Amino acid sequence: MVKQIRRAAGGLKTGHAGTLDPFAEGLLIVGIGRAATRRLGDYMKLEKEYFAAVAWGAATDTGDPTGKIVAEAYEATPGEGQIIEALRRFQGVVEQTPPAYSAVKVGGVRLYKAARRGERVEAKPRPVEIRELELVNRDDQGFEFRVVCSHGTYVRTLAEDLAQALGGYAHLKRLIRTRIGEFHLEDAESLEGVVERLTAGGKRS
Amino acid sequence: MEVVRGLENVKAAPGALVTVGSYDGLHIGHQRIIRSMRRHRGGPITLITFEPHPQRVVRPDFPPPPQLTTLDERIALFEKSGVKRLVLIKFDAAFSELTAERFVKDVLLGRIGMGAIFVGPGHRFGRGREGDVELLGHMGRKFSFSVEVVPPVVRQGAPVSSSRIRKTLLSGDARRAFEWLSRPYFLSGKVIKGDGRGRGLGFPTANLTLAGDGKLIPPPGIYASVAEWDNLRWPSATHIGPRPTYPDAAPSVESYLIGFAGDLYGRSMRIGLVSRLRDIVAFDSPTQLSQQMKRDVEDAQKTLAAEHFGSSARLRARRFLT
């Protein structure tokens, strides 16, 4: 994505703040030009808001739909009250172990690189803050929630931990980042829009 | 949020981030402007609005359209959205004669201490609405304040605006208004003693005396709605308008709170209209009316579930996740 923008920007220095999982959608802050890329560091540590859809019944090795199913249980999605109760328990500062497929480094090695080689490297649990967590939908297939969390929170892991607390297995079906600090997805430009504006002659974004 | 009534009571805050307008309804377009102020570095987020509605002074023969929000409702919404300072300017004949340039120089720069102004691309201001974004640009360069033109939120091919939402509501499309406001359109009032007809039909309703002069009343009909009082939110079905099955009964706004049992007399209540279900019709007998009410309640329940019970988070979830 960043490559596409860099090409459209005529090779100007281009970078982004905060990675977005490959399967995820939503907001990414992209800086174009030296001045903008320099400011990207300020945006890395901002809180994030996501909407997530949880597929109930099966856990995958990656925690998302791209992975292999590693555990299954044919049980109905828990009731609304049960889910709300579980969500309440995950609010505040909670310990979270980054998933095997993540960009977190252990001993200088990215976890996903070790995982792809079939190695088992365990990351240490670390504290993250879940500031808001609410159920927005529930049906037979699973449920959807909205979360506002500190930087460094893995929503994939949150979904797995929630499933465990609810006595079942689950993985994220969809994940959409809707806010980074005061930057809202509602105000963002689409990738096509950015590329179009850049190639139309404008050099700044 | 600090509310300042009258320009003479304003203490200039250097670098203030300023926006000017009636901000009726604080809809998703307005919200985008305020969000862009929140992202900006500078002084306090300052919203300037006029009281009474400028049109009452400029065109006394042609009253302004009914409003989506009362001033009190707007104050509560501004506060929640992150406005730090609300300046209410008394709009009178003298003020209406102020040129656009003087408004910027004397009021915005002199009184408020403006460092940046945030407007939609079509913003007009000053005597006879002579000022526009281009003039702001010129003056910004001359007096070194920045001008941020915030792109409108486009829905159904046109920018969302208060007047479009009014039209939408008046045409009976409460569901779309809910989407564009990001919250249901609310009527508020006190629960008074009704005639007890609803109770007799098996559907006791809370009758409302509407508060808020000049507030838009949506067309007669039956609506799927949410009732709010204290910190409670309850699914309901609301009747607005005449009651033709009872020729002697005056028009009313009344709401059946689905499955609620309790006394609400005397309470302040808000009714948020989520979707309009049907027109008002006259029935031959109270029994027929009662049967229809049963169907209305079922329809309201189905509609409310589909419309996420008027919750803005659920509304956004639908927008993003489907």
Using the structure block, give the residue that is written with the tokens 């507030």.
B215
Contacts of B87 (CB under 8 A, 6+ apart): B4, B7, B10, B46, B47, B48, B49, B112
Task: Give me the residues of B, 138-167, that contact A with CB < 8 A.
Answer: 153
Rounded to a whole number, what is the distance in Å from the CA of A16 to chain B's nearest CA?
18
Which regions of chain A are under pLDDT 50? 203-205
User: Within an 8 Å CB–CB cutoff, is residue B316 touching chain A?
Assistant: yes
Alpha-carbon distance values, B89 to A153, B5, B130 (Å): 45, 7, 19
Cβ burial, residue B154 (10 Å; 0-12/13-18/19+):
exposed
Work out the pLDDT band at B221, boundaries 50, 70, 90.
very high
Beta strands, E only, B183-231: 185-192, 206-210, 221-229
* pLDDT tens digits for range A88-113: 999 999 999 988 888 888 888 888 88
Q: Do B313 and A178 touch (CB under 8 A)?
A: no
Task: Give me the residues of A, 143-202, that contact B with CB < 8 A.
Answer: 144, 146, 174, 176, 178, 181-187
Q: How far apart are CA B44 and CA B165, in angstroms?
A: 29
* pLDDT tens digits for range B18-44: 999 999 999 999 999 999 999 999 999
Q: How far apart are CA A121 and CA B219, in angstroms?
A: 64
> Does residue A1 or residue B267 have the better pLDDT?
B267
Which of B35, B153, B317 shows the shortest C-beta gap to A136? B317
> Does residue B319 or residue A56 have the better pLDDT?
A56
User: Within an 8 Å CB–CB cutoff, is residue B311 touching chain A?
Assistant: yes
Does the structure show a pLDDT above 90 at B127? yes
Best mutation target among A29, A144, A172, A177 (most B Cβ atoms within 10 Å) is A144
- Please say whether the beta carbons of B126 and B134 come within 8 A: no
Work out the pLDDT band at B102, boundaries 50, 70, 90.
very high
Contacts of B100 (CB under 8 A, 6+ apart): B125, B126, B127, B130, B131, B135
For chain B, the average pLDDT equals: 94
Rounded to a whole number, what is the distance in Å from the CA of B18 to chain A's nearest CA?
17
Integer-rounded Cα Rg, in Å, for chain A is 18
> Does residue B59 or residue B168 have the better pLDDT?
B168
HEC string of A139-164 equals ECCEEEEEEEECCCCCHHHHHHHHHH
- Please say whether the beta carbons of A183 and A124 come within 8 A: no
Structural domains in chain B, CATH included, are: 2-155 (3.40.50.620), 161-321 (2.40.30.30)
Instruction: Report the chain B residue with the minimal C-alpha distance to residue A43.
Output: B39
Q: How far apart are CA B83 and CA A18, in angstroms?
A: 28
Q: How far apart are CA A34 and CA A26, in angstroms?
A: 24
Question: Domain coordinates of chain A in residue numbers?
Answer: 1-45+182-205, 47-180
Does the structure show a pLDDT above 50 at B112? yes
What is the reported pLDDT for A55? 96
What is the reported pLDDT for A201? 64
- Please say whether the beta carbons of B188 and B271 come within 8 A: yes
Q: Do A137 and B313 touch (CB under 8 A)?
A: no
Which of B35, B39, B317 shows the shortest C-beta gap to A146? B317
Cβ burial, residue A118 (10 Å; 0-12/13-18/19+):
exposed
Which of B38, B153, B317 shows the shortest C-beta gap to A137? B317
User: Within an 8 Å CB–CB cutoff, is residue B317 touching chain A?
Assistant: yes
Which of A176, A182, A184 shows the shortest C-beta gap to B321? A176
Most confidently modeled range among A109-113, B218-222, B308-312 = B218-222
> Does residue B305 or residue B113 have the better pLDDT?
B113
Work out the pLDDT band at B318, boundaries 50, 70, 90.
confident
User: Within an 8 Å CB–CB cutoff, is residue B38 touching chain A?
Assistant: yes
What is the reported pLDDT for B234? 94
Assigned token pair, A183:
């930057």
Whether residue A21 lies in the annotated active site:
yes
Instruction: Report the chain B residue with the minimal C-alpha distance to residue A180.
Output: B39
Q: Do B321 and A134 touch (CB under 8 A)?
A: no
What is the reported pLDDT for B248? 86
Determine the average pLDDT of the residues in B206-232: 93
Rounded to a whole number, what is the distance in Å from the CA of B315 to chain A's nearest CA?
9
Sign for the CA dihedral angle at B3, B4, B6, B7 comes to negative
Q: How far apart are CA A88 and CA A47, in angstroms?
A: 19
CA angle A123, A48, A204 (to 5 degrees): 115
What is the reported pLDDT for A205? 42
Q: Do B308 and A137 touch (CB under 8 A)?
A: yes
What is the reported pLDDT for A203? 46
User: Please, which residues bridge with residue B236 across strands?
Assistant: B225, B257
Class of the domain covering A47-180: alpha beta
* pLDDT tens digits for range B55-67: 999 999 998 899 9
Instruction: Report the chain A residue with the minimal C-alpha distance to residue B33.
Output: A187
Q: Do B320 and A178 touch (CB under 8 A)?
A: yes
Q: Which of B300, B175, B316, B312 is nearest to B235 (CA)?
A: B300
Measured between beta carbons, the chain B residues lying within 8 angstroms of A144 are 317, 321
Measured between beta carbons, the chain B residues lying within 8 angstroms of A178 are 316, 320
Which one-letter amino acid corresponds to residue B176?
Answer: R
Best mutation target among A133, A155, A173, A187 (most B Cβ atoms within 10 Å) is A187
Measured between beta carbons, the chain B residues lying within 8 angstroms of A53 are 321
What is the reported pLDDT for A19? 81
Rounded to a whole number, what is the distance in Å from the CA of B317 to chain A's nearest CA?
7
